[in-house]
Each structure stands twice: as structure tokens, then as C-alpha cells.
Amino acid sequence: MTILSGFLTTPELFYVRNHGAVPLVSDEEALDWTISIEGLVENPITITLKQVLEEFEQVTLPITLVCAGNRRKEQNQVRKSQGFSWGAAGVSTSLFTGPMLADVINKAKPTRKARFLCMEGADQLVSEVYYFEMV
């Protein structure tokens, strides 16, 4: 058993939030999943998760995840919003290991006009697509 201290959230207390059913996938199956980087890039690529793990430096960093609905209960007292009205429980910090996202994206050589990153998954959700501005 690993004892975590300080600002890290223990696994038992780490919040879980999803917008759809969580698929059951074996670790071996996940290695064949593909990631495509396309659009305003010089070198569109499709790589497997296995390639991401093998071809890029893996770093471990403390990451804080915050649900967009965190403290919505208080927000709803000021102005009604959509979504579950939970308190301040939608935030957790842990150590995550993987490649830097910029390293993976840079393999596709984004053009100078590329400003946004659109991440889409294979899960079936109610028309939710998240856009992130590249800085």
C-alpha cells in the first residue's frame, strides 16, 4: 500500500465523473487504439497507444483534475445552470505518467495557423465536443 500525503488525493477519494457508460477494455486491447492528428498540420499521422508509450519520453507530473460542475451548488444559488448540483468534491490531484501532449502533437508538425485542438473519443455521448486553444 502506497501512502500519499500533502496535496495528492488518495485513490479511494479521487472523484470519478463521466458522461456515458465506461467500457470494459483489457490493457492489451487498449494498446491497439489509434490516435489521429490531422487538420492544420504538415504531417497528418495516426499512431497507436503502444507507439505513444514506446516512442515518446514518459514523464510523471502531479496533475489536478477539476470537473466543470465543481461547486455548481453555489453557482446555482446565484444563477441556475444545467447539470448535477454537487459541492466542492469535483477536484482531485494525483501523479500521472505519460508523454507531454505537445510532443505528440508536434510529431504532426502543426502549421502556424493551427490554434485549437479538438479531442474526440469513440464513446457515444450527447453531442459533447471539447475544444482547447493551443498556446
User: pTM of the entire structure?
Assistant: 0.71
16-30 CB burial, b ≥16 within 10 A, e <16: eeeeeeeeeeeeeee
**In the prediction, which pLDDT does 61 show?**
94
What is the C-alpha separation between 16 and 118, in angstroms, rounded?
22
The CA radius of gyration of the chain, in Å to the nearest whole number, is: 18
Block means of pLDDT (10 residues each) for the chain, 135 residues, are: 70 80 84 95 97 96 87 80 72 94 96 91 62 52
**In the prediction, which pLDDT does 6 show?**
77
Polymer length in residues for the chain: 135
Domains of the chain, with CATH numbers? 27-133 (3.90.420.10)
Cα 73 from chain centre? 24
**In the prediction, which pLDDT does 127 show?**
57
What is the C-alpha separation between 23 and 63, in angstroms, rounded?
24
